[in-house]
Every structure is written in C-alpha cells, then in structure tokens.
C-alpha cells in the first residue's frame, strides 16, 4: 500500500465485509450502516493488492454513482490513481482498473455484456431486477488467479427486494445455486461508530420514524419496506399450515396464464366467506392444451367456478381458437373475470386486511397454505406503480402472475359455502315411530 494512503479502522461488520471470501457477499440491511464507505475502501484495496485486476462498481443512476463514489474517491486516491472522465475509471500504477457504471434501464446492460470483470460491486442491489443481476453474474470471469466475486449492498425495498431477500435473508435457493456461495452481513446504524460520533441527530431521526419505516430503515426488517403495495401482508398471519378441506366448502379455481407462466390456485371458501388458498400450480413454457391438461389432472374436487382473465378469450389468428376454447375441451368452463386493475387490487387489500377473529387473534379473510410457496413469495414483493398509486407496478413481471390470479378471484365476488343441513330430530323420531307401527302391524 502506498505510504501516503491511510485508511481508518473499519468497524466489526465492515471488517467482516473486507475479509469474506464467498462468491456473493451482501452487506447492509438498515440505513446508516457504513455501506458506501466499505464499498469504496474494499474496491481500491483490491486494486492495490492485485496488479491488473479489473473491477466494476455499479449503481442504478449516474448522479448517485458520482455523488456517493466518484467524487469521494477523487479525493481519497489523489496522487495514487488517475481518473479518466471519458471512460469513468481509475487506473492504478500496477495496471489495475476500477470502472464505474450505471443501469438505469435494461438497455444500459448492453455496455457490460461481453466484458470481463474479476470483481463487481453492486451498490443498492435492491434497486435492480433479478434478471439484471443474472446478466451481471455472467460478466464475472477470466483466466487468471484473481478473486471472482460480486459484492452487494442493500436495504429493504425496491424492485429487487424479493430476490435479494430470497438469496441472502431467507436462503431459499433454486437448482444450480450453491448455498455456500452466498453470505449476508447485517449492519445497522449502531454498528457505524463513526456516524454515531459525528451525526447523532441522524440516529434520532431514524428512531423517531413511524413504526413501519423504523422497522425497515433502523432495524433492517426485510418483511417491511418502503414502496410495498400490500403492507397488510404479514406472513405470521396469512400463511397457515395445510389441513383437510371440509367437503361442504365451496371450491374455486383462478388463474393467470401465458406462455411465460401458468399460475393457478385452488381456493376454498367457508361458510363465513373466509378464503383458503390451498393448492398451487406455477409452471412456465406450457402451450395452452398442456396447461389445460395439467390443471385438469390436478383437480379431484368439484369446482364451483373457474376464473380467468378476459384476454384468454382472444382468438389466435393462425388457429381461430382461444385459450378458453382449449380449456373447455378438457372440461374446464372458464369464467371471464373482471379486470379493473386498481379496483381489483383494492379489493384484495380488503381481503388481506388483518382483523380479530372470534378468539381475539389476528386473522384475515384470505389465508394461504404454506405449500403455495410462489404466492407467498410474490404478494409481499409487489410495489406501487410510480404513475398510479392505486395500481401495482407491472415490473418485475415475474412477481405479478400469482397475485394477478388472486385478483381475478376476489373480483369475482365469490359466494360463501352453505352450512350443512342438520337433520331434524323430531322428523327422525316420527319416521322411527312409523317404522315401528308398520313392523308391529305386519
């Protein structure tokens, strides 16, 4: 390290971030945890320690990138590395290069595809969709002995909340994802001793926030975040253990379908009008006949109504058939659901609103069996549309399929089950007397 370059002592959480060797390392969770400082220091430590290493530091927008990293590093690396505004990078005397980039939209990713980097830093990773993260992962490669890693910083909230939470908080991995590759280092403002000493008012501001904001920003609660549409959703309330559905309950099927995803749900309605989502189909790449065949094969019980979005009645130009036609051929008479998005989402909020049940415990009119894993993952991930506060954002699209299906169900104004008819005891006694009379008479 150059003799004229000094670094203040990192706090305990920052030290863990500096020394971690996992392939994917996420740091943060709450505001004020010293994330930006840790990213800058780790980036130029790597550049100084590995001659010729190629590093990319990303944020969602260029103004954020410049204010949080480029300007501070111009001061920190003065006389040590040369900054070139034309390609937005620092070059070091040992041949290392620290480049800065931004991804304000998907087309911005084109400038990185095909490039090779040894290390990528993604600052505020919850601001980018999972698809972008997957593309960036493919850029980390090279035939050398340099470390191949992606460092992420994150707070709850944003379009990427769900995938960051899945990988680093819930640790729910898909096929091909190695759990040992992923490490999360939680950091709160109380871990940032430098900030505590220099700006105590910032801490007081976080502590005085309304409950939901305080839990997300101060405590780093990943079940709450700013911009979440269904703030009513509480996993401890809405997710329940499976049980046998009573035979008199009314069963509905509701779905959202496209070649990208078939999301279908079997829902039981009890006598009080409470809905239980108890079975899920969630599969992509199915042509309409295969989708209909799969739904039919998974249905053993009588269905009171089959709900689907209106666009499934559109006829294809090449065949003249619609999705509704294909399902009808398999004995599934779809019903065209109402598709007023804003009203449907508001209705769904009412169904999810926690209320006290007859025992005094919090419950809701829409509950989900624990085996419906994709619906449980997607409902809390939905965020507000930036142009219409009554609507849900359609991106990331991967989280909208299951909730859309539930929206069609609640828009259908489903009617509750009927209570089983209890036999009339006096009528039973009267019949018994008649039987005895006939028997004696015989």
List per-residue pLDDT tens for the chain, 442 residues long. Answer: 555 566 678 888 889 999 999 999 999 876 776 888 899 999 999 999 999 999 999 998 889 899 999 999 999 899 999 999 999 999 999 999 999 998 887 778 878 877 899 999 999 999 888 888 999 999 999 889 999 999 999 988 888 888 999 999 999 898 999 999 999 999 877 767 666 677 777 777 777 777 766 777 777 788 777 778 998 999 899 999 999 999 999 999 999 999 999 999 999 999 999 999 999 999 999 999 999 999 999 999 999 999 999 999 998 877 789 999 999 999 999 999 999 999 999 999 999 999 987 788 899 999 999 999 999 989 988 988 878 888 998 887 888 999 999 999 999 888 887 776 665 555 455 455 555 544 545 4
Q: pTM higher than 0.75, yes or no? A: no
Q: Are 367 and 240 within 8 A, CB to CB?
A: yes
Query: How far is 124 from 132, CA to CA, in rounded Å?
Result: 13
Using alpha carbons only, what angle is made at residue 215 by residues 210 and 219, rounded to the nearest 5 degrees? 135
Query: How far is 13 from 36, CA to CA, in rounded Å?
Result: 13
Could you give the dihedral angle defined by the CA atoms of residues 234, 236, 237 and 240, in that order, rounded to the nearest 10 degrees?
130
| CA 199 from centre of chain | 33
pLDDT at 422: 63
Query: How far is 352 from 348, CA to CA, in rounded Å?
Result: 6
Superfamily of domain 12-218: P-loop containing nucleotide triphosphate hydrolases (3.40.50.300)
Q: Coil, strand, or helix at residue 291?
A: helix
Query: Whose CA is closest to 231, among 360, 389, 72?
Result: 389
Query: Whose CA is closest to 381, among 207, 222, 144, 171?
Result: 222
Q: Are 141 and 116 within 8 A, CB to CB?
A: yes
Query: Whose CA is closest to 411, among 351, 329, 321, 362?
Result: 351
pLDDT at 434: 52
Query: How far is 250 from 245, CA to CA, in rounded Å?
Result: 10
Q: Which residues contact 245 (CB under 8 A, 6 or more apart)?
A: 251, 268, 276, 278, 301
Cis status of the peptide bond prior to 396, with omega within 30 of 0: yes
Query: Whose CA is closest to 130, among 378, 346, 350?
Result: 378
| β-bridge partners, 28 | 154, 186
Using alpha carbons only, what angle is made at residue 76 by residues 72 and 82, rounded to the nearest 5 degrees? 95
Q: Are 362 and 355 within 8 A, CB to CB?
A: yes
According to CATH, where is 3.30.420.280 located in the chain?
235-411
Hey, how many other C-beta atoms are within 10 angstroms of the C-beta on 56? 24
Q: What CATH number matches the domain at 235-411, 2.40.160.20, 3.40.640.10, 3.30.420.280, 1.10.10.10?
A: 3.30.420.280
According to CATH, where is 3.40.50.300 located in the chain?
12-218
């Amino acid at each position: 390290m150059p003799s004229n370059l000094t670094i203040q002592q990192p706090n305990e959480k920052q030290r863990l971030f500096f020394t971690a060797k996992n392939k994917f390392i996420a740091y943060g969770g709450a505001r004020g945890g010293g994330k930006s400082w840790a990213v800058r220091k780790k980036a130029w430590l790597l550049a100084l320690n590995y001659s010729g290493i190629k590093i990319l530091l990303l944020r969602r927008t260029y103004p954020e990138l410049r204010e949080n990293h480029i300007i501070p590093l111009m001061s920190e690396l003065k006389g040590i590395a040369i900054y070139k505004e034309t390609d937005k990078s620092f070059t070091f005397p040992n041949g290392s290069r620290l480049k800065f980039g931004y991804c304000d939209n998907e087309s911005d990713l084109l400038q990185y595809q095909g490039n090779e980097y040894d290390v990528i830093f993604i600052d505020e990773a919850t601001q980018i969709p999972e698809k972008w993260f997957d593309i960036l992962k493919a850029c980390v490669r090279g035939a050398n002995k340099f470390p191949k890693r992606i460092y992420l910083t994150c707070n709850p909230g944003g379009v990427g909340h769900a995938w960051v939470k899945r990988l680093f908080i819930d640790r729910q991995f898909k096929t091909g994802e190695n759990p040992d590759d992923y490490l999360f280092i939680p950091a709160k403002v109380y871990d940032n001793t430098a900030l505590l000493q220099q700006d105590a008012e910032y801490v007081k501001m976080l502590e005085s926030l309304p409950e939901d904001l305080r839990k997300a920003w101060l405590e780093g609660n990943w079940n709450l975040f700013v911009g979440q549409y269904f703030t009513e959703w509480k996993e401890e309330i809405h997710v329940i253990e499976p049980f046998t559905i009573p035979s008199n309950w009314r069963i509905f099927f509701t779905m959202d379908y496209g070649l990208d995803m078939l999301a279908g749900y079997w829902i039981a309605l009890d006598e009080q009008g409470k809905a239980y989502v108890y079975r899920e189909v969630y599969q992509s790449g199915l042509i309409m006949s295969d989708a209909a065949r799969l739904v039919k094969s998974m249905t053993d019980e009588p269905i009171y109504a089959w709900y689907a979005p209106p666009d499934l009645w559109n006829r294809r130009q090449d065949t003249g058939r619609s999705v509704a036609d294909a399902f009808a051929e398999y004995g599934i008479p779809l019903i065209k659901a109402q598709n007023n998005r804003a009203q449907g989402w508001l209705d769904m909020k009412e169904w999810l609103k926690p209320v006290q049940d007859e025992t005094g415990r919090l419950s809701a009119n829409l509950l989900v069996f624990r085996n419906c894993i994709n619906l449980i993952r997607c409902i809390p991930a939905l965020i507000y549309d930036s142009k219409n506060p009554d609507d849900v954002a359609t991106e990331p699209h991967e989280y909208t399929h299951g909730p859309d299906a539930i929206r069609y169900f609640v828009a259908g104004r489903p009617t509750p089950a009927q209570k089983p008819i209890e036999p009339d005891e006096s009528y039973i006694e009267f019949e018994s007397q008649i039987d005895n009379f006939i028997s004696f008479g015989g």
